[in-house]
Structure 1
Amino acid sequence: MDAILGPLKKATTAEQPARSRPTREQAEEAVRILIAWAGDDPSREGVLDTPKRVVKAYEEFYRGYNESPQDVLARTFEDVGGYDDIVIVRDIPFYSHCEHHMVPFTGKAHIGYYPVEGVVGLSKLARVTDVFARRMQTQENLTAQITDAIDDALQPRGVAVLLEAEHMCMSLRGVQKHGVSTITTQFKGVFRDDPNEQTRFLTLVRGKSA
């Protein structure tokens, strides 16, 4: 296994430790080993190119490791006509991969914040969700990372994030219970301090007037 993975030397960054990466050839060889371990023949025609496809897919699945939430949220707009009420983007679809089993979990994110000096482009809230979702994750950590990134970048009066997702590690393996949703929330600022603001956010997310 050491010959495949090579040395993983830590380097310090502000966000998380950087590690030297195995080569593409090493990654493809690792996939061949897994195919053989599963009981198939890596040289069989049907799976001969599977290692290349898997590595290419991983580049897409985990592209968030090469993206910066700070860059996504860097630009704000101050010309909003004095608007200072809640901004909510709801039903943001996302998919991620459980860091325990590396199988998908999929769901929707709902994000709200109270701007102070400006607002961020609405699509940026979806993009920052993807930056963190396209990494190996737990739903709890994903919720906290999205919240912290928005709070750090925008310095709003408050941030609220709700994620609801179905985990394939629970529906495809283990207890094999399909259709079970996991809900996580994180509140900062006025949303954490005032239960009425939490209620307002949750009511608006559920599509009712507030």
Structure 2
Amino acid sequence: MDIGFSLLKTTNKAGKLSKALLMRLSAISVRLVDVEGLKRGLSRIVLPSFNAPSAAAVRTAFGEIDWRRAARGDFSGFRKLISEMLPMDIAAAKDALRGAVRKEAVDEVRLLASSAAGIASDGGIKAAYRALEYADDAKDLSRARSLSARMGEKTSAVLRVLGKGAIKLGKLVYLVASILIAILGWFVGALWFVFSWIRTSRRLFWRKGEIA
């Protein structure tokens, strides 16, 4: 899913994210946090009381810290000491804040990220970028993922030719894509036949000229 988030971020930076999808992401960000739910959750959280650690505990904790990582701004080594000094019921805090985040908004973001990652996996990075350029919302991107699962490496080409229609057509797009591929195959085959015929004819003329 991290790949999906990275694709969304990169496409947005490049200015290729569809306008409708960009607006949808903005709407999700606004809806993501339930302010009233957050207020209720915070009111239910009991602030931890300070417990002064013993000198031995401080020495042990400081002895276990990787100071080179701390110098680079990574203070994760202090987590154990802080949790002992300010003990908090994490499970209770999570339960209190559960209503602060709207589940449907989180699910939509997850669908966007997982769909983008799935398209990249099945159809390639170019296909994922093209899908993000044409998709209007998470449902569109999910349809594009279904398309990539069926078309594989041809997904990018199908999206380039059909554009948004490749997503909107649904299952019909498989028939359209198959017809286009068949036509392209016939065209290439016809060109090859003409080329082979011309080359063979020229050889025959050259041989007749040499004999004459």
TM (norm. structure 1) is: 0.28
Higher CA-based Rg: 2
